[in-house]
Amino acid sequence: MESIMGLNFGLGALPMLSNAETRSICAENPNGERGAGAKEIPDAGNAGAMLGQGWKVRPCITLEPGTTTTLADIKGPGVIQHIWITVDPKAYRDCVLRFYWDKEKTPSVEVPLGDFFCNGHGIRHKVDSLAVAVNPSGGFNCYFPMPFRKHAKITIENQRHEAIWGFFYQINYALTEVPRDAAYFHAQWRRSVTTREYPEHVLLDGIKGQGHYVGTFLAWTQMSTGWWGEGEIKFYLDGDSKFPTICGTGTEDYFGGAWCFGETYSTAFLGYPLWHKVEGQVPKHDLYRWHILDPIRFKKNMKVTIQALGWWPNGKYEPLTDDIASIGYWYQVEPHATFPQFPAVHQRWPR
């Protein structure tokens, strides 16, 4: 147990002592170094000018247009334990988060900022779950543990045409030993418009290596009237071809609801926190499910898809042409397969 205490595997481990060293990165201590917080000296125009050094002088940063900012650059071994971010919603789809483990050349996480925290469509709303919490007003929190052995790097790229002011962040981590069998955290964003000929959205494909799938987020834009969530989710594991090993029974069923939802909800492991109904706009939905107590294990490869189905007036399933964006969250051994080309900023804008 001693070797894994820095990973903090739940409330039962809280009384246990550990050799882990706690660190935290924010704008007031951008390198997370011991005794290096609150060193900024305020100038005359700073809000903390009358208080001086050691007070609230640099709580946030500005993301200049077309630039990539390194939020964390950490020498391992260690584990990221909590990430908190808040910013104007205009950054949600226009800013890209990327995580790199152990000096890898391609990111293991590449996602729009808002979608990563289950706020799709560029719309701010609350999420009350174990892995991700979004609190008033727009306080993004992620509790997925992210171990690394040699190095961790987190960046954010502002692809918007203007500067984004007031970007606040805090990244809490522990410098600690990492067990040999601990896998690396991954997350990938995809977007597609389904067709009547093939009404299926691909969340993940080409995932290679051993690992386990731990979460799904969908930002679903409804392009047809009526019920939109009759489709099934499918997990193709370890060589599955035409038929999957795991097959759901309907969209609302997979997210823990039933009978077309009817209302929103947000729980520890699954939720439907957004049903955006505004006159003159297409309906928009956000849904999440965390496979924390039921991770989906794979040894060689994995593919995940979900169907877009409604109902015809004659009682038959209707293929839908809906706009679906998704994030699949998983852990696996490195190296990971190369991600698809990340969509340009105009390809990520909500309808």
Residue length, the chain?
351
The arrangement of secondary structure in 184-336, i.e. its CATH architecture, is Sandwich (2.60)
Residue 196 burial (10 A CB sphere; 0-12, 13-18, 19+):
exposed
Cα separation, 266 vs 70, in Å, equals 32
Q: Given this model, what pLDDT does residue 5 score?
A: 47
- Which helix (DSSP H) or strand (DSSP E) does residue 134 occupy? strand 132-135
Q: Given this model, what pLDDT does residue 11 score?
A: 77
Cα separation, 324 vs 349, in Å, equals 12
User: Residue-wise over 88-127: b if at least 16 C-beta within 10 A, else e?
Assistant: ebebbbbbbbbbbbbebeebbbbbbbbbbbbbbbbbbbbb
3-class state of residue 204 by DSSP? strand
- The pLDDT profile of the chain, 351 residues, written as one tens digit per residue, is 444 546 666 777 888 899 999 999 999 999 999 999 999 999 999 999 999 999 999 999 999 999 999 999 999 999 999 999 999 999 999 999 999 999 999 999 999 999 999 999 999 999 999 999 999 999 999 999 999 999 999 999 999 999 999 999 999 999 999 999 999 999 999 999 999 999 999 999 999 999 999 999 999 999 999 999 999 999 999 999 999 999 999 999 999 999 999 999 999 999 999 999 999 999 999 999 999 999 999 999 999 999 999 999 999 999 999 999 999 999 999 999 999 999 999 999 999
Q: Is the peptide bond before 136 cis (omega within 30 degrees of 0)?
A: no
Q: Given this model, what pLDDT does residue 3 score?
A: 42
Domains of the chain, residue spans: 2-175, 184-336
Q: Where are the alpha helices (DSSP H) in the chain?
A: 113-116, 251-254
Cα separation, 261 vs 33, in Å, equals 48
| Domain covering 2-175, topology | Jelly Rolls (2.60.120)
3-class state of residue 139 by DSSP? strand
98 residue type, one letter: R
Partnered with residue 217 across adjacent β-strands are 288, 327
22 in Cβ contact with 172 (< 8 Å) = yes
Please give the full DSSP string across 97-127, using - where no structure is assigned: EEEEETT-SS-SEEEEHHHHTT--TT----E
CB atoms within 10 A of CB 211: 24
Partnered with residue 327 across adjacent β-strands are 189, 217
Cα separation, 309 vs 250, in Å, equals 9
Do 184-336 and 2-175 fall under one CATH topology?
yes
Nearest-5° Cα angle at 166, 215 to 56: 110
Cα separation, 229 vs 306, in Å, equals 10
